[in-house]
Chain A
Amino acid sequence: MPIVVDLYIPRQSWAHAIDPRVKLLFVASAILVLLVFNNLFILLGALLLLHLIHWSARIPFQKIKFVWKTLLPVMLLISALWILFYPTGTPILQIWIIKITPLAIAQGLVLAMRILSMALAVFAWLYTTDQPSLVRSIVKMGLPYEWGLVLALALRYIPTFQGTYSLISEAQQARGLDISSGTGFRRVRMMMPIFVAMVISSLRASDQLAKALESRALGARGVRRTTLRDIHFRPVDYLYVVLILAITIGLLYLKFQYGLGVHSVNLM
């Protein structure tokens, strides 16, 4: 049964009311800042700030947990790899040739927090923006309508494909396919029937969708497409833009001019 139907969570909050373009700017700035800074404390601060944003936007705890759950494996993997293979400074523990150093641990944590923060920033945008607004924001920034539509359709059909995947998986299991056993390459081979059936199913579905779209006059030439629910910049949205730009530029300036966040834990 598909659970995630729409990433958008309808709520009345300051975050929901912001123009989606501003939110997109926020995501871009956040990612930039997160990539530039390598400082453990700054990243921790960013992570906390993002949680604060989600909480004040009335995003349910379950949804925040969802982001954590999805990213935890990647976070753990990357931290572990870094800690094991990039030891710098004096080791506090040594197992055979693997050295564990505090600096490496700190950097591993930074990497993990960076990924999580970037995801939280993106989800802050997706959780608080409904599909038509998403499409509209992309169009109003000058990109072709079809791009926005493609994004919206992709998001809309995720749960459908999740559902198709479970059905196909069940159908193959009912023919004796054992998906629980086996490791590595063998496991991949066992997933082949499911994979092929998914591809065929997707092709069929996209064919049908294309016909439906055409039957609703998509691509009508000589007419400008209108919008039922449009998005508009409010005065406070301009303020947010200024704020985001100021903070981002400020932080970058502080780092490159004055070495903010560089001297305390020098990792790179």
Chain B
Amino acid sequence: MSSQVGKKVIKNENISRNTEVTETINFSCLCDPLRVLRESPGSLFLLEYCQLTRQACLKAQDLWFAYEDSPVAALRGVSLTIGEGDFVALIGQNGSGKTTLAKHFNGLLRPTRGQVLLYGEDIRNRPVSTLARRVGYVFQNPDHQIFSPTTRDELAVGPRNLGLAETEVQRRVTETLASFGLKLYADRQPAALGFGLRRKISLATVFTMQTPILILDEPTTGLDYRSITELMELTRKLHHRGYTIILITHDMRVVAEYAPRCLVLRDGQILADGDTRTIFKQTDLLRETHLELPQISQLSRRMIPNGMPDDTLTVPEFCEAYSRLSH
């Protein structure tokens, strides 16, 4: 039965013949008959399977990390669970460990102590290029990723690195150009385009790899309001399609409007982990970490004595609540 499953997966993904992956993933969450699986790039099967069994796709267990030349640990005993299809924001000041933590999820950093589990498997010894099939990382500075002569080529880099057939690569590139609104710039040089576009392109290049998990590292810095909205709406759409989103940011307005769950980090530790609304009520905690609530939340809290709720996250919410109060 397992061999039948293996064949089915390969056919779905339409990969070229010489890239049959021979890794064997050992899942503790699997029931007996499916003990051995053949993995395929994109891992759609994994996605469906884990969604079916509601498994955590990412887990950190008592994770400690210190850089080579640093006496102080950048991560101190971090434990968290991210479920399939979650949308989590990692928030905190620079130096709190957000990026350091996220880089453990795709193997760019290895734990000094503790474990990182991807779909139940310890990824300590997996090379980054393998983990790139399942965890996509969009870097803070798009210029660190961009190097191709055309946008089309740039989008093709990821899938090609994964060893996909050229027809599949081109199919994905065309699909991504359309869904990201980049068709106009398909044959232009990305490095010469404006910053907002380069940001979008760097997200698109990771998207073409169709990794079930997407990590976005400070995607909104330096962008104007419209670009932020575009990017975040795109992210929300991806989330609704089933992708797991990990958003690293310190833009509290974006967190309030888009992220249902957030983790607050400070000095390498998780201070709070929960749904955004609850976290935003803990003003002392946020003040400790120098994070300020969005203006509208602040106003709402100031007007609690007037009957306003203590957990307003967006302008429409406030508007609604205030109107109700006055009628």
Q: Find out whether A and B make contact in their complex, taking CB atoms under 8 A apart as touching.
A: yes
Q: Report B100-123 CB contacts with A as 1/0, cut-off 8 Å.
A: 000100101000000000000000
The closest CB in chain B to the CB of A178 belongs to B129
Tell whether, in the assembled complex, residue A173 and residue B191 are in contact, meaning their CB atoms are under 8 Å apart: no
- Whether B69 pairs with A3 at a CB distance below 8 angstroms is yes
* Contact (Cβ within 8 A) A170 B147: no
Distance in Å: Cβ of A197 to nearest Cβ of chain B:
4
* Chain B residues closer than 8 Å to A170, beta-carbon distance: 103, 108, 139, 144
Query: B124-178: which have CB < 8 Å to A?
Result: 127-129, 132-133, 136-137, 139, 141, 143-147, 157-158, 161-162
* B146 lies within 8 A of A200 (CB): yes
Main secondary structure on A side of the interface with B: helix
Residue of B nearest to A1 (CB): B67
Contact B143 A177 (CB under 8 A): no
With contacts A3-B69, A177-B161 taken as known, whether A171 is within 8 angstroms of B127 at the C-beta atoms is no
**Dominant SS at the B interface?**
loop
Is A259 interfacial (CB-CB < 8 Å)?
no
**Which residue of A168, A176, A177 is within 8 Å of B144 (Cβ)?**
A168
* A196 contact from B106, B147, B206, Cβ within 8 A: B147
Please, what's the 1-or-0 string for B31-75, where 1 marks a CB less than 8 Å from any CB in chain A? 000000000000000000000000000000000000111100000
Known A-B contacts A1-B69, A193-B147; A177 and B129 likewise in contact (beta carbons under 8 Å): yes
For the complex, what is the distance from the CA of A255 to the CA of B162, rounded to whole Å? 64
Chain A residues in 8 Å Cβ range of B203: none
Question: How many interface residues does B have (CB within 8 Å)?
Answer: 29
- Distance in angstroms from A164 CB to nearest chain B CB is 7
The answer, yes or no, to whether B205 is at the interface (CB within 8 Å) is yes
Which residue of the partner chain B has the closest CB to A204?
B143
Find A173's partner among B108, B141, B143, B162 (CB 8 Å cutoff).
Answer: B108
Evaluate contact between A200 and B147: CB separation under 8 angstroms.
yes
A168 to B144, CA, bound (A): 5
Name the A residues within 8 Å of B128 (CB-CB). 173-174
B68 surroundings in chain A (CB, below 8 A)? 1, 3
- Give CA–CA (A167, B206) in the complex, Å: 16
Q: B270 interface residue, CB < 8 Å from A? A: no
- Residue of A3, A175, A197, A201 with most chain B CB atoms under a 10 A cut-off: A175
Cα–Cα, bound, A170→B162 (Å)? 16
Cβ-based interface call for B248 (8 A): no
The contact string, 1 if C-beta is below 8 Å from chain B, for chain A 81-118, is: 00000000000000000000000000000000000000
Decide: B205 and A175 in contact? CB cutoff 8 A.
yes
Contact present for A174 and B139 (CB under 8 Å): yes
Assess A174 versus B127: contact at CB under 8 Å? Given A164-B144, A197-B144, A204-B143.
no
* B136, closest chain A residue (CB): A174
> Which residues of A have CB within 8 Å of B216?
none
Q: Does A172 contact B (CB under 8 A)?
A: yes
Q: Chain A contacts of B161 at CB under 8 A?
A: 175-178
How far does the alpha carbon of A164 sit from the alpha carbon of B205 in the complex, in Å? 20
| A223 nearest CB across to chain B (Å) | 36
Contact between chains at B206 and A175 (CB < 8 Å):
yes
- Chain A CB within 8 A of B209 CB: yes
Chain A residues with CB below 8 A from B147, complex form: 192-194, 196-197, 200
Interface contact A176-B132, CB-CB below 8 Å = yes
A180 within 8 A of B: yes
Nearest chain-A residue to B149 (Cβ)?
A196
Residues B141 and A167 in contact, CB atoms below 8 Å apart: yes
Whether A175 and B143, one on each chain, are in contact in the complex, defined by CB atoms closer than 8 angstroms, is: no
| Min CB gap A6→B, angstroms | 14
Instruction: Show the binding face of B for A, using Cβ within 8 Å.
Output: 67-70, 103, 106, 108, 127-129, 132-133, 136-137, 139, 141, 143-147, 157-158, 161-162, 191, 205-206, 209
- The contact sample of 26 A-B pairs, CB cut-off 8 A, is A167-B141, A170-B103, A170-B144, A173-B108, A173-B128, A173-B129, A173-B132, A174-B106, A174-B136, A174-B137, A175-B132, A175-B145, A175-B161, A175-B205, A175-B206, A176-B161, A176-B209, A177-B161, A192-B147, A193-B147, A193-B157, A197-B143, A197-B144, A197-B146, A201-B144, A204-B143
Other 18 A-B pairs with CB < 8 A, given A170-B103, A197-B146, A201-B143 = A1-B70, A3-B69, A167-B144, A168-B145, A170-B108, A170-B139, A170-B144, A171-B145, A172-B145, A174-B136, A175-B132, A175-B158, A176-B133, A176-B209, A177-B161, A197-B145, A200-B143, A204-B143
